[in-house]
Amino acid sequence: MTADPTHHVTKYSRVSRALHWIVALLVFLTWPLGLMIGFVKDEVKLDFYLVHESLGFLVLWVMLLRVGARLFAPAPPIQGSAMERMAAHTVHGLFYVFLIIMPVSGFLATNAHGFPLEWFGLVPIWSPLAKSPQIAPTLSAIHEWSAWIVLALFTLHMLAVIFHHLIRRDTTLYRIL
């Protein structure tokens, strides 16, 4: 019988782990919906927007909870070289930044285009912007670029997971499970 190699892994807090996976799930639902909006029939396009925007608004609030959780329960120390630690901190930091910028810019773009959010068609959300056609395209561009940056960060993140788990065979993955 061999000892469990993950027994002594320093993990993120339970709250941080739960919020990590909730955000991951929400992004995996929201991102493809946003991409598909341009390809769906006009009669269902508004439904796709509603679900995409509602999930995106939820991503924002869960990310704000993640920031709060991180303040109260810092991440466990990262193992590896100085370069690996710097890369990990950079990717994680950018993830936090763009997973907040993306939903905020999407929410503001929606408002600027003249469509205030009614969360899942049930709860009207106060709109900080009136219809503003002059800034709507800029906010939409920020939202779209943020989405692509999040995809690039996700790719880097997954490459690091594969590297640590399959090549190095270390316990890095178990910190978040």
Q: pLDDT digits over 115-128, tens only? A: 999 999 999 999 99
The residues facing 168 across adjacent strands are: none
The residues, any chain, with a CB within 8 Å of residue 78's CB and separated by 6 or more, are 84, 85, 88, 89
Considering the chain, what is the average pLDDT of its residues?
92
Six token digits for residue 118: 């009614």
Q: pLDDT digits over 57-98, tens only? A: 999 999 999 999 999 998 898 888 899 999 999 999 999 999
Do 98 and 146 form a contact (C-beta atoms < 8 A)? Answer: yes
Q: List own/partner pairs for 160-163 with CB under 8 A and 24 or more apart.
A: 160/87, 160/88, 160/91
- Nearest Cα neighbor of 162 from 176, 172, 149 is 172
Torsion of CA 67, 143, 120, 51, to 10 degrees: -120
Does the predicted TM-score (pTM) go above 0.95?
no
User: Per-residue confidence at 8, pLDDT binned at 50, 70, 90?
Assistant: confident
